[in-house]
Each structure stands twice: as C-alpha cells, then as structure tokens.
Amino acid sequence: MSFYKKNACPVCEKAFTPNDDIVVCPECGTRYHKACYQQAGACLFQNRHGEEIPPDEDTAQDTNPNGENAQEGETILCPQCQTPNPSENIFCNRCGTALRGPFRQGFGANPNMGQNPNVPPFNPFVYAPSEQELKEEINGVTVKELIAVVGPNAQYYVPRFQMFGRQNGPGISPNWSAFFFNFFYFFYRKMYAIGAALLVVFLASLVPTVFVALDMFSQMFPQYAQSFPFLTESFLRNVYVWENIITILRLTLMLFFGLFANRMYFSLAVKRIKKLKAQNLPQSEYQAALVKRGGVNRKIIGVAVLGFLLVYVGLMIVLSFSMMYV
C-alpha cells in the first residue's frame, strides 16, 4: 500500500525490474530506486505521512508502512537514521531502531527525517556493525542474533559482549544502571530471577530501618512510647549494629552487580538464543521469537515500584501492631 499508484519509482517514473536496487519508505511504503531516493533526499510524499491511505489507492506494490511485505532483495529504510537495511531485519543494523510491526511502536521516527538531504539525521554515537561483524560468532551465537535479543541500547551492550567473547577473564564491565537501580534494572532487562532475589534481600535489609523509624516516632511522640516496650536501649544498640552491617552488605552487592551485570546479561542472552535456535524455527519466526524473548519490560518497573511501596508500608504496619502486643 502506497500513495504512489504505479509500480514504478516516483522520482524517475521508470518501472522496477528484478535487478533494481530498491528501498522502501518506512512511513508510507512507497518504493524508490536507491539512487533516486538519495537524489531526492526524502520521500516525495512526506507531507502526507500520517494520513490513512484509502483502499482505492492501493497498488500492486502491496507494501505496508511498516515494511512487513517488502520483497526479498529489497531494503527497508530506518526511520531514525535512514540507513538501508535488509528486508528481513527487525531492527536497524546501524542504530537499533525497530523497523517493523509492533516492535516499531514506542521508538518513534525522527520527525526531521530527510529535511536536509545533504545531512541525513543520525546519532554518531550508535553501534554500526558491518556485514562481517553481524556474522561474527561469540560463544556460538552471532552478533546479529545478540542485537535482536538485546533490543534497545544494543549499541552499548554488543561491543561489551564482543569483549567478553574475546577474553578469558572474569568479564568485569561497569554498569551504572545495575549499580544504582539494583533489582529494577534486572527486572527491566528480563533477568527476573536475579531481580527477585535482590528484591528479597533489599526488603529484608529494611527490617532494622523499621525499628529505627519506630524509635524516632516514639521520641517525637513520647505519649506513644509505652506502645513499644521492646525498644529498649540494648535492643536498639543491636539494631543499629545490624543496620551498619546490612548497609555494608548492600553496598557490596551493589558494587558486585554493578561490575558483573553486563557479564550476567551476556550469559543469559547467549542461553536464550541457543534455546530458541534448538527449536529450528523458520527464520521469520525465529527473529520474532528473539525479539519477544529478549528486549526489555517497561511495565514491570511500575509494578515493582508499587509492590515495593506496598510491602514496605505493610511491613511497618505489621511490625508495629505485632510488637505492641508483645
């Protein structure tokens, strides 16, 4: 489906042949000769992008805006950096932007795409692997497979994965997101087992904090101090000691996972790829399975934050009421 009715390039108006190098506009599905598109600098119908294409304007091209029906041998233009990609790609080889289907939602095309034909908009700090690099194998999986399973921010992770594959060391690689955000990071990257374990440890470490909070409350409101008879001087002394010990342990865990989270993620990504590869799925289903099994989970962050707050408040309430009747 396209705004251009003819099965020809809208720039030169010449009919396509099987040997033509063709690119497809990711917004409206219009096909161009690659050289013609580069000469034009942008889709000729960009002022109509966002409009619904009426059925009577459907043509033999049968290419939808997300490029799912691009024919073999054609390329799909990345909506972010305008790099031509093979039609079977789900993510751009240059910047990692999603190219098709539901995976393309949420990443957003560059609204200024093609306005300056001499300077195509792209991010110079992204990972741009060559065709040879995409075929490179790391621990039995290819870079292309790793890009698909990582999804967003592949330009950060894949070079580090390559480093892990080329060295026999422990795989130390600082990850500040894992250091500061702890279990939230692991939930976001679908490393649920590690995230759940860290969440349990974190909640357990809050128990001394609850007693400290109760002590502060009893000092601020002396009339309620008799409600907490267990807050003796010796008990609070032990609580503060344990609080210091647990703080040191938490910082140690933060440092450990901050240094080794990338290595853990690499091992998990390789395991996921090999598990899917063993199923011998068709190539299109295999690529879609990699994206679905990998990537990130944004929704679980909100759930984790809400759950954390509910558990923390509930813990304080339960401890308060239980200790009042000791």
What's the confidence (pLDDT) of residue 287? 81
Does the pLDDT value for residue 113 go beyond 60?
Answer: no
CB-based contact 163:156 (threshold 8 Å): no
pLDDT digits (tens, 9 = 90+) for 2-18: 566 567 888 888 888 87
Residue 270 — pLDDT band, cuts 50, 70, 90?
very high
What's the confidence (pLDDT) of residue 206? 79
Does the pLDDT value for residue 290 go beyond 70?
Answer: yes
What distances in angstroms separate CA 324 from CA 220, 228, 234, 319, 321, one per listed residue?
Answer: 17, 6, 18, 8, 5
Higher pLDDT, 117 or 29: 29
What's the confidence (pLDDT) of residue 260? 93
What's the confidence (pLDDT) of residue 272? 92
pLDDT digits (tens, 9 = 90+) for 158-177: 888 888 887 766 678 899 98
Residue 122 — pLDDT band, cuts 50, 70, 90?
very low
Residue 282 falls in which region: left (phi positive, over 0), alpha (psi -120 to 50) or beta: beta
Q: In whole angstroms, how large is the CA radius of gyration of the chain?
A: 27
Query: What is the distance in angstroms between the CA of the first residue and the CA of the last residue of the chain?
Result: 73
From CA 265, how far away is CA 193, in angstroms rounded?
12
Strand 137-138 relative to strand 141-142: parallel, antiparallel, unpaired?
A: antiparallel
Does the pLDDT value for residue 223 go beyond 80?
Answer: no
Does the pLDDT value for residue 312 go beyond 50?
Answer: yes
Q: Encoding tokens for residue 106? A: 């949420």
Count the alpha carbons within 13 Å of 147 in the hemisphere toward its beta carbon: 26
Residue 86: count of CB within 10 angstroms of its CB: 16
From CA 62, how far away is CA 78, in angstroms rounded?
19
pLDDT digits (tens, 9 = 90+) for 29-75: 788 888 888 777 778 887 777 776 655 444 334 434 444 445 555 66
User: What percentage of residues in the chain have a pLDDT greater than 90?
Assistant: 13
Residue 172: count of CB within 10 angstroms of its CB: 11
From CA 221, how far away is CA 215, in angstroms rounded?
10
**Amino acid identity of 88?**
E
Does the pLDDT value for residue 313 go beyond 70?
Answer: yes
Does the pLDDT value for residue 86 go beyond 50?
Answer: yes
Please give the average per-residue pLDDT across 291-312, as a whole number: 81
Please give the average per-residue pLDDT across 64-87, as a whole number: 59
Please give the average per-residue pLDDT across 289-311, as a whole number: 82
Report the SS3 class of residue 219: helix
From CA 204, how far away is CA 208, in angstroms rounded?
9
What distances in angstroms separate CA 220 from CA 213, 214, 216, 224, one per listed residue?
Answer: 11, 10, 6, 9
Count the alpha carbons within 13 Å of 237 in the hemisphere toward its beta carbon: 3
Phi, psi of 234 (to 5 degrees): -65, -40
Closest to 104 in 3D by CA, of 150, 154, 66, 148: 66
Residue 104 — pLDDT band, cuts 50, 70, 90?
very low
What's the confidence (pLDDT) of residue 262? 93
What's the confidence (pLDDT) of residue 112? 39
Burial of 157 (0-12, 13-18, 19+ CB in 10 A): buried
pTM: 0.57
Lowest-pLDDT range of 75-89, 157-171, 215-229? 75-89
